[in-house]
Structure 1
Amino acid sequence: MKKSKLWSFGLIMLLALSVLLAACSAEEGTTEEPAETSEETNDGTTTEETEEAVPQILVFGRGGDSVSLDPAIVTDGESFKVTENIFETLLNFGEQDTTINPGLAHDWEVSEDGLEYTFHLQEGVKFHDGTDFNAEAVVKNVERWKGGAEEQFYYFNSMFKAEGKDIIASVEATDDLTVVFTLSRPQAPFLKNIAMSPFAIASPTAFEAAGESFGDNPVGTGPFTFVEWKRNDSITVAKNEEYWQEGLPKLDTIIFRAIPDNSARLNALMTGEIDLADGVNPSDAQTVESNADLQLIERPSMNIGYLGLTNTRPPFDNKLVRQAVNYAIDKQAIVDAFFQGRAEVAVNPMPSSISGYNEEIAGYEYNPEKAKELLAEAGYDGGEIELWAMPVPRPYMPDGQKVAEAIQKNLSDVGIPSKIVQFEWATYLEKAKNGEADAFLLGWTGDNGDADNFIYTLLDKDTIGSNNYAHYSNDEVHELLIAAQSETDEEVRSDLYKQAQEIIHEDAPWVPLAHSIPLLAGKKGVTGYLPHPTGSESLVNVSIE
């Protein structure tokens, strides 16, 4: 009996020891693990969690800083490059063309007489400040554009005013998600115009509260929200977590970094400081193509680079002097030297891909002797002029300083001495717009693919003080352009633009220089980036692998 008790006690102790050893073994992790596990990192998170937490940050290197982030009041591409991602328009262009697609409006109708446009708006969209996007918000934006000072709302006045009258007679919210535009006369490119970046819809609550400082703290409906602006350095935007298009954007943060020198910007890309570089010098294209870590990107061309001649300032108030300058400049040499074959010599103030281009115009050939004859006929006294060189590279002008130096030599050869002048970009634009330059380098990237957006916007007398930097005025050209705006027959409309180009060619308000193929470069891992011919594209589908 005693022996039996001892045996029982020993058995119990053995079982207890076995349980204890099993428990210890489990705590030490020697038992079989489940099939799906994650390793723990030093900070206590799993590797799986760490991978998911890596933010998608894109650093976009560009040629200069923005002027303002209020799309309604700016005209420069560097501003639109940012605002295109903060704001949205009622209609969108195609990914790489200017076909019309839904935007903040999912559908629209046009009346038979072309005077009434009805837009049906997306439901459930909010501005970044949490207020609702609706028809009343659209009305308030249009009222802001119409009621603003003409010198401030450049685009609205150049696109939707003619002969001192508003083309948009009224805009009405017929219900919460329907808005009706009524025009005072037909405007053939109205849908393309309203899809342009300057006519993005902003939060009325925000712009009413901010007043003129709205451009420093912009509020739209777009895929990215404004974070901060370090002047002349960088602008940061962040993913809109409440964006109305599901699954977008793919990036968490975009930093638009200003690096004025093209070569320095490319170097920043090659050293990994940035992910995308705008404005690659044509001469550097081979460097990019030979680098296995980079990709060369071509932007579809829809631009014009030109030498503007302020028609109200001597000596360029004389047509003969303007014609002489056109003969004096060797445009082919400029294209060969600074565009490396990725441009064509310009003849007219718009590219040949635009409907209405006049192919019958031969253009001014390089003829210094003819230039001298015209200067003598004009009685030019040989006084020195100021030649303004752009301080930043633009898609239509990769190096304004070098182009200015080439033009300076051409002008000197025919007896026109010149002094090259530069200003900070915003100051340059403002002074040139006000007619303070003698001759100035500038250009234009088309906003909507329509001839009206080149010839009327840049050279009609109604747009002096906005985009007509040359202060060119011709009543006959004006009548042709106004008629073309209202004409719905495309063949008739095209002929009107061709007639206007003939007169402009004779008057020579500019020296058209080149239509370029702008180049960009990016890391191989940047995907989904599709450069738009307008120069302003949404980065909503871009990601980094």
Structure 2
Amino acid sequence: MKSMNKRYLLLLCVLVIGLVLAACGGGAATPTEEPMPEPTEAMEETPAEEPMPAFEPMVMTADNCDYGGLLKEIAALDQYTVQFTMCSPDPAFPSKAAFSAFAIQPSEYLESTGGSGQLLEKPIGTGPYMLDSWNRGEEIVYKKYDGYWGTAAIADTLVFRWNSEAAARLLELQSGTLDAIDNPAPDDFQTIADDATLQLINRPALNVFYVGMNNTYEPFNDEMVRQAIAMGIDRQRIVDNFYPAGSEVASHFTPCSIPNACVGDSWYNFDPEAARQMLADAGFPDGFSTEIAYRDVVRSYLPEPGVVAQDIQAQLKENLNIDAEIVVMESGAFIAAADAGELPGLHLLGWGADYPDMTNFLDFHFGAGASQQFGDKFPDITDALSKGAALSNDAEREPFYVEANNLIKQHVPMIPVAHGGSAVAYRAGIAGAHASPLGNENFSVMDPGKDTFVWMQNAEPISLYCGDETDGESLRACEQVTESLLAYEVGGTAVVPSLA
């Protein structure tokens, strides 16, 4: 789950997998019986069957709950039962358990590949597809797993391809070489809707695009500087010019469709005069020089990263006399640098929901276990978030999220810009086509009318390991192979049974 830092998440994933497998293992499977021969006088007495190995349950208990997580104990009670004991009530726990970061993989495989990096490229799971090949830079090919425990995949072969250019993705879809594309450009929505050979399915805007700053670097260590930049960017202009229908300016960090997301004060209004005065009061009447770092990867929250970066660059110069150099980075290196707190200027990033709860947005970014993306933590924010996360009733949680939202506005660790509407475009007539609000489309339920389904997304996955939840392209790719104890309904956020 994304409310934890990656190191803790990895350790917990391995722990949960081990305990679940312990609960489900219990010895070798009983072989199918063959017909017994009729007894004869010469036949010896049938020897007694050897007893099954005794079930040895695993249990892991935390000394206390001060380590920052929510689990006090995980115990395998018997061969088919795992019990989670929480440090405090957690209304989002079923949704977290459905998140693919907790996908189940064979313990033997985890042990044999531990530390080798093989898990990143060769996942083994319980899903409807299995990995056939990954041709780096070209495509990933999956084959239907004939022994799948659930409903078999419809298409025998699933192919993932990628292209960072929205126009190129659409051109291939129109030419018939693809069955579906992710994130068509905002200007192409109407073109797709008017094409009888295509179908456009909108995706709800459960995401946020923000401009990040790290408070350990000057001048962003000054709260007045951060507030001035917040007032000096016209966010409505960005949404109007570069986002598709269904998008909206972010009044708060978390999308308002999530309970308690938009309680507390709304974000700063665009006020360039007040912004310039505040920047001058902070000691920068003539502005300063910095940089804007981003990765050239299309996301639902940032459909046109290059032009948005240029517009923010222009606004900073026009409104605040800030000279910002644009720095484009490779996706994996950019994420790593952001998490490590190594980006000294502004950076453009965003977040898509893993599950519809405040903890998924606020705790991951501003909680006690957050990365160094924004620099030093704000204890008043982390305290409010910890109290809110410990309650199970939305009404009881509300005062703490009012406090957290107001403090985020005051401290300005980042600037929430937009909740981006997006869509998936398919060939017309594909049965089961859908757009997941969580970005985890399930291709096993789609019928392309042929043996192979070809999908094109914005970028190549960084890895095929769902435990690394920082990259949406990677999550979608690994989710075709692995499964968790619970799951999200196809095309929705409701939790349904899976392996449990």
Distance of 1:362 and 1:165 partners within structure 2: 29
Secondary structure, aligned partner of 2:443: coil
Distance of 2:419 and 2:24 partners within structure 1: 37
1:178 alignment counterpart = 81
CA contact (8 A) 2:223 2:411 kept: yes
Residue 457 in 1 paired to residue 364 in 2? Answer: yes
Amino acid across the alignment from 2:290: I
Out of 422, 425, 446, the position equivalent to 1:521 is 425
Amino acid across the alignment from 1:182: T
Distance of 2:374 and 2:184 partners within structure 1: 28
CA contact (8 A) 2:367 2:386 kept: no
2:300 alignment counterpart = 395
CA contact (8 A) 1:461 1:472 kept: no
Q: State the 1:340 CA deviation.
A: 3.6
Secondary structure, aligned partner of 2:385: helix
Q: State the 1:120 CA deviation.
A: 9.1
Distance of 2:213 and 2:410 partners within structure 1: 14
Secondary structure, aligned partner of 2:112: helix
CA contact (8 A) 1:125 1:244 kept: no
Distance of 1:383 and 1:534 partners within structure 2: 39
2:204 alignment counterpart = 300
Secondary structure, aligned partner of 2:133: strand
2:234 alignment counterpart = 330
Q: State the 1:121 CA deviation.
A: 7.1
Q: Deviations over 1:95-143 (max 9, x none)?
A: xxxxxxxxxx9xxxxxxxxxxxxx99799999xxxxxxxxx99969x99
Q: State the 1:359 CA deviation.
A: 4.5
Distance of 2:140 and 2:26 partners within structure 1: 30
Secondary structure, aligned partner of 1:321: helix
1:191 alignment counterpart = 94
Q: Structure 1 316/540 Cα, relative in aligned 2: closer, same or farther at 3 Å?
A: same
Residue 431 in 1 paired to residue 337 in 2? Answer: yes
Q: Equivalent residues in 2 for 1:47-66 (5 A)?
A: none
Q: Structure 1 253/415 Cα, relative in aligned 2: closer, same or farther at 3 Å?
A: same
CA contact (8 A) 1:472 1:509 kept: no
Residue 221 in 1 paired to residue 126 in 2? Answer: yes
CA contact (8 A) 2:57 2:78 kept: no
2:317 alignment counterpart = 412
Q: Structure 1 162/237 Cα, relative in aligned 2: closer, same or farther at 3 Å?
A: farther
Secondary structure, aligned partner of 1:173: strand
Q: Equivalent residues in 2 for 1:11-410 (5 A)?
A: 163-211=66-114, 212-246=117-151, 248-380=152-284, 382-410=287-315
Q: Structure 1 398/122 Cα, relative in aligned 2: closer, same or farther at 3 Å?
A: farther
Q: State the 1:282 CA deviation.
A: 1.2
CA contact (8 A) 1:138 1:179 kept: no
1:101 alignment counterpart = none
Q: Structure 1 425/517 Cα, relative in aligned 2: closer, same or farther at 3 Å?
A: same
Secondary structure, aligned partner of 2:363: helix
Q: Deviations over 1:330-368 (max 9, x none)?
A: 111110111144310002110111101234523211111
CA contact (8 A) 1:460 1:472 kept: no
Distance of 1:445 and 1:234 partners within structure 2: 24
CA contact (8 A) 1:189 1:485 kept: no
Q: Deviations over 1:222-252 (max 9, x none)?
A: 1110111122322111111100014x21121
Given the two structures, how large is their TM-score scaled by the length of structure 1? 0.69
Out of 328, 336, 347, the position equivalent to 1:440 is 347
Q: Structure 1 165/323 Cα, relative in aligned 2: closer, same or farther at 3 Å?
A: closer
Gaps of 5+ in 1: 1-71, 75-88, 91-104, 106-118, 127-135, 147-160
2:45 alignment counterpart = none
CA contact (8 A) 1:123 1:177 kept: no
1:12 alignment counterpart = none
Q: Structure 1 359/189 Cα, relative in aligned 2: closer, same or farther at 3 Å?
A: closer
Distance of 2:200 and 2:57 partners within structure 1: 39
CA contact (8 A) 1:531 1:537 kept: yes
Could you tell which deviates more after superposition, 332-341 or 402-411?
A: 332-341
Q: State the 1:200 CA deviation.
A: 1.1
Residue 481 in 1 paired to residue 381 in 2? Answer: no
Gaps of 5+ in 2: 1-8, 30-54, 450-500
Amino acid across the alignment from 1:497: Y
Amino acid across the alignment from 1:233: E
Secondary structure, aligned partner of 2:221: coil
Amino acid across the alignment from 1:361: D
Q: State the 1:314 CA deviation.
A: 1.4
Q: Deviations over 1:476-502 (max 9, x none)?
A: 111111111111232011221121101
Amino acid across the alignment from 2:104: I
Distance of 1:401 and 1:165 partners within structure 2: 37
Q: Structure 1 330/202 Cα, relative in aligned 2: closer, same or farther at 3 Å?
A: same
CA contact (8 A) 2:25 2:79 kept: no
Secondary structure, aligned partner of 1:454: helix
CA contact (8 A) 1:309 1:439 kept: yes
Secondary structure, aligned partner of 2:273: helix
Distance of 2:246 and 2:414 partners within structure 1: 22
Paired residues, number: 406
Distance of 2:296 and 2:211 partners within structure 1: 14
Query: Greater relative contact order: 1 or 2 (C-alpha under 8 angstroms, separation 6 or more)?
Result: 2
2:477 alignment counterpart = none
Q: State the 1:165 CA deviation.
A: 4.1
Distance of 2:352 and 2:415 partners within structure 1: 16
Distance of 1:172 and 1:226 partners within structure 2: 31
Q: Deviations over 1:297-353 (max 9, x none)?
A: 111221111111112211111111111111111111110111144310002110111
Distance of 2:398 and 2:58 partners within structure 1: 33
CA contact (8 A) 1:137 1:204 kept: no
Q: Structure 1 336/265 Cα, relative in aligned 2: closer, same or farther at 3 Å?
A: same
CA contact (8 A) 1:435 1:470 kept: yes
Q: Structure 1 369/139 Cα, relative in aligned 2: closer, same or farther at 3 Å?
A: farther
Secondary structure, aligned partner of 1:169: strand
CA contact (8 A) 2:388 2:397 kept: yes
Q: Structure 1 137/421 Cα, relative in aligned 2: closer, same or farther at 3 Å?
A: farther
Q: Deviations over 1:264-322 (max 9, x none)?
A: 11111111221110011111011111111100111122111111111221111111111
CA contact (8 A) 2:88 2:391 kept: no
Amino acid across the alignment from 1:203: P
Q: State the 1:537 CA deviation.
A: 2.8
**Higher normalized helix content (fraction of residues):** 1
Amino acid across the alignment from 1:386: E
